[in-house]
Chains A and B, each alone.
Chain A
Amino acid sequence: GEDVEQSLFLSVREGDSSVINCTYTDSSSTYLYWYKQEPGAGLQLLTYIFSNMDMKQDQRLTVLLNKKDKHLSLRIADTQTGDSAIYFCAETGSGGSNYKLTFGKGTLLTVNP
């Protein structure tokens, strides 16, 4: 079945760039997503990328997709304390369940002042 892996923790200083990495196994993934979760809250959709794209930029966020290596990354420029949260990578699978989202376990980003 599909699998999505992320490192569990990342700590950065305020003002630096953060890079959160994700790998996935389903070679027929069509969309890949990044979500943000603040304590006690639901998941907020940050951005998504279609599998035929290499890069997508949205303000401080840059998503890079290496389809050959099945590697996705999220770069947050000029990281702020308000960016401290758990970040989830997710993908939509293939076949009859291609609308189902499969998530990684999340990366806890801590931004130190």
Chain B
Amino acid sequence: DVKVTQSSRYLVKRTGEKVFLECVQDMDHENMFWYRQDPGLGLRLIYFSYDVKMKEKGDIPEGYSVSREKKERFSLILESASTNQTSMYLCASSSRPEAFFGQGTRLTVV
């Protein structure tokens, strides 16, 4: 059974903290993605990676960075968390045509 696992389901962080969201896949997929989901805005792509150490900006990269040191792991970093980064964060991995999602991390920044 395919598996994309996000390290936390729920997270509460303080404004200004550095936050790490981790995602691991066990399907040996080349491509991995981070999206955020907000009511009325749908899913918006933050960053994606098509290979180890390779990354590309998505539609809303500001305030975020990513790291992909190993093929199976893709980390999203909030350099200095702000309240407008309170959201549901979804990780995905794909080897076309199939793309699978993790269970999501609901992040609240207070």
Q: Is the CB of A42 within 8 A of B101?
A: yes
Contact of A45 with B98 at beta-carbon distance under 8 Å, contacts A99-B50, A101-B92 already known: yes
In the complex, which of the residues B48, B90, B97, B101 contacts A100, with contact meaning CB atoms closer than 8 Å? B48
Stretch at the interface among B11-19, B37-45, B69-77: B37-45
Name the residue among A30, A45, A92 with the largest chain B CB count within 10 angstroms.
Answer: A45
The main secondary structure of chain B at its interface with chain A is strand
Residues of A within 8 A of B (CB): 30-31, 33, 35, 40-45, 48, 50, 88, 92, 97-106
Q: Can you name 5 extra interface pairs (CB under 8 A) apart from A33-B99, A42-B102, A103-B35?
A: A44-B101, A50-B97, A88-B42, A100-B33, A100-B48
Residues of B within 8 A of A (CB): 4, 6, 30-31, 33, 35, 40-43, 45, 48, 50, 56, 58, 90, 92, 94, 96-104, 106
